[in-house]
């Protein structure tokens, strides 16, 4: 059975799940959600996910939302990307939770405000505040990666890597430059070298360049 991922190319949270299924050889297909024309606010979409967000994964009788929950499901279904020991698995979910709170949630908001929101709807001072918080998060991640090739340790990638990297491949500016963070830069190259890796705009339908 082929799972369906409701997604759009600009969503870093959806990209984490799309990439995890791809790397784990879990059959899936994208279902495009036209976020920028308000599809997530429609009654039809709210029946699928009352939270009004992507990603949503539909796999047989299962309908799941929230990227961390979907990543957990992918690990459970495939037996891959979840850590090879119990200790490593705990580190995997520690970093997935950290990413949700400190990294992806902040990047997603900052990137949206800088690239997609109407300029007159961006509150003064919010972007610099978010960028300062992100610099703190980048420092934590960069220092952590100085002593290990993968976020959760071990000798291979896990969903912790895919969660933390989810937004960091996007080309739109939000104050992040890979050259400023050499350990993050090398780690992103390691992920991109994995068999099956694809850029978010190649893996999912929808591309910010199409909005111009």
State the pLDDT at residue 208. 60
Q: How many domains does the chain have?
A: 2
What CATH number is associated with residue 140?
A: 1.20.1050.10
- In terms of domains, do 63 and 123 share one? no
* 47 & 130 share domain: no
Residues 57 and 94 placed together within one structural domain of the fold: no
Tokens standing for residue 113: 């405000």
User: Which range marks the domain in which residue 100 is found?
Assistant: 86-192
CATH code, domain carrying 15: 3.40.30.10
Q: Are residues 127 and 58 in the same domain?
A: no
Exposed/middle/buried for 93, CB within 10 Å: 0-12, 13-18, 19+?
A: buried
My answer on whether 96 and 162 are in the same domain is yes
Residues 110, 170, single domain; the answer is yes
User: Are 30 and 123 in a shared domain?
Assistant: no
Tokens (6 digits) for 62:
């299962």
Query: Residues 119, 126: contact at Cβ < 8 Å?
Result: no
The full DSSP string for 59-87 is ETTEEEESHHHHHHHHHHHHS-SS-SSHH
pLDDT of residue 52: 97
- Which residues of the chain, if any, have pLDDT below 70? 208-212
Residues 160 and 70 in one domain: no
User: For residues 152-166, b (16+ Cβ closer than 10 Å) or e, as one string?
Assistant: bbbeebbbbbbbbbb
* Co-location of 61 and 12 in the same domain: yes
Alpha carbons 168 and 191: distance in angstroms, whole number: 11
Residue 183 shares a structural domain with residue 91: yes
Q: Determine the Cα–Cα distance for residues 29 and 27; give it in Å rounded to an integer.
A: 7
Based on the fold, state whether residues 132 and 106 are members of the same structural domain: yes
- 177 and 137 share a domain? yes
């Amino acid at each position: 059975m082929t799972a369906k991922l409701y997604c759009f190319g600009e969503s870093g949270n959806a990209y984490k799940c799309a990439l995890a299924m791809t790397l784990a050889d879990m059959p899936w297909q994208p279902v495009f959600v036209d976020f920028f024309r308000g599809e997530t606010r429609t009654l039809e979409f709210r029946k699928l996910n009352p939270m009004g967000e992507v990603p949503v994964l539909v796999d047989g009788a299962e309908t799941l939302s929230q990227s961390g929950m979907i990543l957990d499901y992918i690990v459970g279904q495939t037996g891959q990307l979840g850590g090879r020991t119990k200790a490593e698995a705990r580190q995997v979910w520690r970093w997935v939770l950290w990413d949700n709170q400190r990294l992806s949630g902040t990047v997603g908001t900052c990137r949206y405000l800088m690239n997609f929101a109407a300029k007159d709807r961006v509150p003064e001072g919010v972007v610099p505040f978010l960028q300062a918080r992100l610099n703190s998060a980048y420092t934590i991640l960069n220092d952590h990666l100085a002593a290990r090739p993968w976020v959760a340790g071990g000798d291979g990638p896990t969903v912790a890597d895919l969660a933390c990297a989810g937004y960091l491949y996007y080309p739109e500016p939000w104050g992040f430059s890979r050259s400023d963070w050499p350990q993050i830069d090398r780690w992103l190259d390691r992920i991109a070298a994995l068999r099956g890796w694809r850029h978010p705009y190649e893996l999912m339908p929808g591309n910010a360049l199409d909005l111009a």
